[in-house]
Amino acid sequence: MNEFKVNDIKKVVVIGAGLMGAQIAELMARLGQYRVTLVDVKDELVSKGLAGIDQRIEKFFVVKGKMTPEQKKELMGRIDGTTDIAQAAAGVDFAVEAATENISAKKDLFRKLDQSAPSHAILASNTSYLSITEIASATNRPDKVVGMHFFNPVAMMKLVEVVKGAKTSENTSEVTSSLARVLQKEPVVCRDASYGFLANRAYLALRMEAVQMVWERVASPEEIDKALKLGYNLPMGPLELADMGGSWGIYASSEEDRIRELGSGKGRLHPLIRLMVRAGYTGGAGKKGIYDFFKEVLSTW
């Protein structure tokens, strides 16, 4: 049997029509020019994801003269939406899961994908920290399960982490890295023995030290971010980035996974983040984060 190659990819399925999944589907259809099916559990979630793609293409490409209305119509015609994962996976060549960061939910999705996808298909997860080896254990093709971690915003961020589980084959890793290059990204390869893989593992230490400085009232979040941006030429500070992306809520919900992987010393949630999340300061679109928590609560507490 011939080895599977990136040029063999014609049909892609993306599981999860949220912020990351919709952006990945858009990129696959736009740069890879693949036939893409976007899947979620409810019709309204699928419709919302497709509408977001349509709006981004209009705003950033058609309005700016980078794409004609006809080209946009052709692009959108390459993207379908459904709630039927079995139907979507039939005949697929490459699948990307971008659902909630919950190991049980991901294993269930990969079990379903494995049952419905052709034997040659590669099954990838966009997880930012969960074990690819454990996710792959839910399938009968662990050699074809891999991490493909995009960064937000997907269209702009060049990095894609290609994460190898214990049984991920070299062919699977190579095809996934090649796909990242087709999508005009720069892949880096690592083993999933590193919790948080590469970028998030290193960046988490920076962000948690910044959180500790806020907790100690060393300075405001604005001053800490300003120091890091100007001192290390970062485009955004770690605290404002977490506010924008809703990382505080994600940290809280993933505490059990971190403790399991890292032990209670490194895995336990910082008390400031616990307080913030309990008070509703999770960060994310339309929600308050550490900047507002410092001004409204911590500075007078």
Residue from 128, 173, 247, 254 carrying the catalytic annotation: 128
Residue from 26, 97, 125, 149 carrying the catalytic annotation: 149
47 is a catalytic site residue? no
Residue from 26, 97, 161, 240 carrying the catalytic annotation: 161
Neighbour order of strands in the sheet with 11-15: 79-82, 35-39, 11-15, 94-97, 122-125, 145-150, 159-164, 186-191
The whole-angstrom separation of Cα 18 and Cα 136 is 23
270 is a catalytic site residue? no
Radius of gyration of the chain (CA): 20
8 A C-beta contact, residue 277 and residue 250: no
The whole-angstrom separation of Cα 86 and Cα 164 is 25
Q: Is 14 helix (H, G, I), strand (E, B) or coil?
A: strand
Q: How many CB atoms lie within 10 A of CB 264?
A: 10
Question: 121: closest CA among 131, 132, 110, 129?
Answer: 110
194 is a catalytic site residue? no
**At which residue do the structure tokens 């980078």 appear?**
66
Residue from 116, 173, 177, 200 carrying the catalytic annotation: 200
Burial class (CB in 10 A: 0-12, 13-18, 19+), 226: middle
Active site positions, annotated: 128, 149, 161, 200
